[in-house]
Structure 1
Amino acid sequence: MEKEKLKKIIIENQQFINDLQIVDREISIEYAANYVFTGPRRAGKTYLMYQVAKDLVAKSILTPEQILFIGFEDERLMELKAKELDE
């Protein structure tokens, strides 16, 4: 997979998160910690991640450019091989 194609997907996702209108849920999360969100499909795991990303930007902890989100369900990534992520 071409690096430019992957960069384009990352930039599109950064813009998508920035523009996304979501209902804020009351959550208490330590931003310096690492988390693994698990649960059934369509339970809100991705939207929780979007909310955390938007909160980090709103609180000037991160800039939108520092948020990296790749949805591996994106059809444009079907040809991507795991070893290519190391390149």
Structure 2
Amino acid sequence: MEDSGHLVVSIFLSASSDYRLNQAMERTGLPEKKAAALMKKTDKQRREYYEYHTGKDWGAASSYDVCLNVESMGLSNVCTLLVEAYGKLSAI
């Protein structure tokens, strides 16, 4: 999608709740209950922000150009894939 001469690609990264919770606990050092509460609050804020500004459903595949599962692919692989794909798209 072109936006004022700039390439804009909407991307949604997903993973299971368990995976996300473990990652949140690891990153923040919070115990499970507090990490789960933070994750729930953050998801709510992201949903509200996204839906307000786009009029689309947050998390629905049809709302994005690309949807990737970080849990199954691994974060490093997802990053590599996105960098390579963006490089090819920008060259067009």
Q: TM-score, normalised by structure 2?
A: 0.32
Q: Which has the larger radius of gyration?
A: 2
Q: TM-score, normalised by structure 1?
A: 0.33
Counting strand residues as a fraction of each chain, which structure ranks higher? Answer: 2
Kindly indicate whether structure 1 or structure 2 has the higher relative contact order, using CA contacts under 8 Å at least 6 residues apart: 1
Counting helix residues as a fraction of each chain, which structure ranks higher? Answer: 2
